[in-house]
Amino acid sequence: GVGRANRLFNIMQDKKKTYVAEFSFGYETETLDSESDVVLKTSSKIPNENEIQLALKSMLGKQNQVAPIFSAKDVDGKRSYHLARQGKGVDIKPHEIEIFEFKLLGKKNDKTFEFEIECSSGTYIRSICRDLAYKLGTVATMTALKRTKCGPFELFEAKTVEDICLEDLKSNDFALTHLKTLNVSLNKV
């Protein structure tokens, strides 16, 4: 958001988002991503593409999700990651999310698969990774993540700060296309 549009930033963020993520099966870390130590390894088999495809279908739609304990979720006025780093118990309440699309894009190696996920704002992709693995009777860790779309904004249109020019700026109307409009007449009866 630039200028007066900066006030609309939170409204603009509350949109569908699309991510491309890699999930590696067979181990789980404390943070559910590759930024921390492995806390659980399983010797169970790595799921195959057919098993994953079946599980993906069951994850579509509205559902309650529990955010990772190492997240910015507010727990009694504090960020949950602060509490988790202090070794305190963190009780994160589930919140409603929606997964609109969940596609398997391909297999990266014998344990890692790439996915595209379109979901509601407030969805944790690390939690989706964990939940998918649990549905498949194993564990997994998110090893890569890229947001490719947020509302009408797409990554392929992104520019660096050095390359952006005035013509590249989008209007407030473009940024708020997800909101319903109501036209009101100012004529008195």
Query: What distance in Å separates the CA atoms of residue 66 and residue 47, rounded to the nearest whole number?
Result: 23
pLDDT value at position 52? 96
Distance CA 8, CA 13 (A): 9
Is 176's pLDDT higher than 80?
no
Compute the average pLDDT of residues 7-23: 81
* Ramachandran area for residue 133 (φ above 0: left; ψ -120 to 50: alpha; else beta): alpha
The separation between the first and the last C-alpha atoms of the chain, rounded to the nearest angstrom, is 39
Contacts of 132 (CB under 8 A, 6+ apart): 23, 52, 55, 56, 59, 140
Which pLDDT belongs to residue 32? 83
Q: How confident is the model at residue 160 (pLDDT cuts 50, 70, 90)?
A: confident
Q: For 10, list phi and psi in degrees, rounded to 5.
A: -65, -35
Which of the two residues, 25 and 155, has the higher pLDDT score? 25
pLDDT recorded at residue 184? 84
CA angle 75, 69, 140 (to 5 degrees): 155
| Burial status of residue 111 (CB atoms within 10 A of its CB: 0-12, 13-18, 19 or more) | middle
> For the segment 90-147, what is each residue's pLDDT rounded down to a tens digit?
777 888 999 999 999 999 999 999 999 999 988 989 999 999 999 999 999 999 999 9
Per 3-state DSSP, the chain is made up of helix, strand and coil in percentages (nearest 5) of 25, 30, 45
Q: What is the structure's pLDDT at 132? A: 96
Q: Are 23 and 143 in contact (CB under 8 A)?
A: yes
At residue 72 the predicted structure's pLDDT band, cuts being 50, 70 and 90, is: low
Residue 8 has what pLDDT?
A: 72
Q: Give how far the C-alpha of residue 77 lies from the chain's centroid of Cα atoms, to the nearest Å.
A: 23
Q: Name the residue with higher pLDDT: 172 or 55.
A: 55
Hey, what long-range contacts does 131-135 have (CB within 8 A, 24 or more apart)?
Answer: 131/59, 131/65, 132/23, 132/52, 132/55, 132/56, 132/59, 133/23, 133/25, 133/28, 135/55, 135/58, 135/59
Give the mean pLDDT of 156-176: 78
Dihedral sign (CA 26, 32, 33, 37): negative
Higher local confidence (pLDDT), 150 or 17? 17
pLDDT at 147: 94
Residue type, 25: F
The pLDDT tens digits for 25-63 are 999 888 888 876 777 687 677 999 999 999 999 999 999
Could you tell me which residue, 14 or 153, shows the higher pLDDT?
153
